[in-house]
Structure 1
């Protein structure tokens, strides 16, 4: 699958979902990574005007799960996130944040992702670890 096909597939999958609500946009993909961006606006702020950690985690899980969906056999399996942990290192008030999901482990059943969330100046905002699982689809 080409980069454009991957991004197009991801964009189509986001219709009427949390990703669309948070304005998450998939912008790049390679053999073993995927990148999405999200605008930092009052929609994703916590009360004191900075990016909410929950929005960062939603961005991270969205890009990691989408990467699993794109890079694994989803004809026979569906993907679910089963564990996520995040360290928030720096705050952001405006602009965009970018989440890059890269494989740490690509197993048949479980996958481990490192997701680095950075700002436009490439400062590390959050470091997230996501575990996904591939579960067999029921045959009809």
Structure 2
């Protein structure tokens, strides 16, 4: 009976360690498998602020994007690693993009997922401003040509 009790306690300890290890696996909340941290029934919060004057948002464990563009692997993006420590999922601001819609428009013309960023025309924020600027520049260049004659 004494041996049976010891084996039962060892089995319970192994089961507890296995359960804790399974539940505590490290993954960025947005790339965790279903059934992991993403299915925890807690509220959704905004992703960590980052970048100059905290004006950007973390879009991956080492990616910080905002109006300034994106920082990847820089000191501005180091704070984004803290997202891995949270058990509550965060919601990235921006329209979905990418081949499977798994990314988010994180900066003007830039689509980011958890691992990388790429140029994406769907993420153009200031198309009117850009077209207006090109039109203004072409007018200025035409006026400059007239003045030289």
TM-score > 0.5, shorter chain as reference:
no
**Bigger RCO of structures 1 and 2 (CA < 8 A, at least 6 apart):** 1
TM-score normalised to the size of structure 2?
0.24
From the two aligned structures, give the one with the greater helix fraction. Answer: 2
Decide which structure has greater strand share.
Answer: 1
Bigger Rg, which one? 2
